[in-house]
Amino acid sequence: MRRKHGEVTLSIDATEAPVRLRGQLWRKQQLFDMDSAALRFNGVVGNVSFVELGLVGMYLSADTATGSFQLVPEPRFGQAMIVSWPDRAERLTKCFEALEKLEAKAV
């Protein structure tokens, strides 16, 4: 994705696992900055970062009107998991295992 000609704001490298995302996205004075190690929010909601974590069965909600930030469980699961593991490939495997557990409980 490009903000304007020649200025890439989102880069996705799917040539290996895990997929690598890099980008800077702006919405309503809120910056969502991501790279291979972290997801950062800065702007109206400031100084929130997630580094080397797997967020499973949830989405991130930043309310620019109130300046609040939440981790919200995906409604079909009603719960979520955070996976912390030092090795990225192993962390990805553990994230898929966590997702399978959430899916099994949701059935």
Q: Report residue 99 as tokens.
A: 């997702």
Distance CA 40, CA 48 (A): 6
Interval 40-51 mean pLDDT: 81
Going by C-beta distance under 8 Å and a sequence separation of 6 or more, which residues neighbour residue 96?
Answer: none
Domain count, the chain: 1
Q: What is the pLDDT of residue 7?
A: 57
CA 52 to chain centre: 10
> 14 lies in which domain range?
2-106
Mean pLDDT of 32-46: 81
> Rg of the chain over CA atoms, in angstroms?
15
The answer to whether residue 10 scores a pLDDT higher than 80 is: no
Residue 5: the pLDDT is: 59
Nearest CA among 100, 54, 53 for reference residue 77:
100
Percentage of the chain exceeding pLDDT 90: 32
**Which carries the bigger pLDDT value, residue 103 or residue 61?**
103
Beta bridge partners of 100: none
Q: Rounded CA gap, 5 and 67, in Å?
A: 31
Q: What is the mean pLDDT of residues 55-59?
A: 93
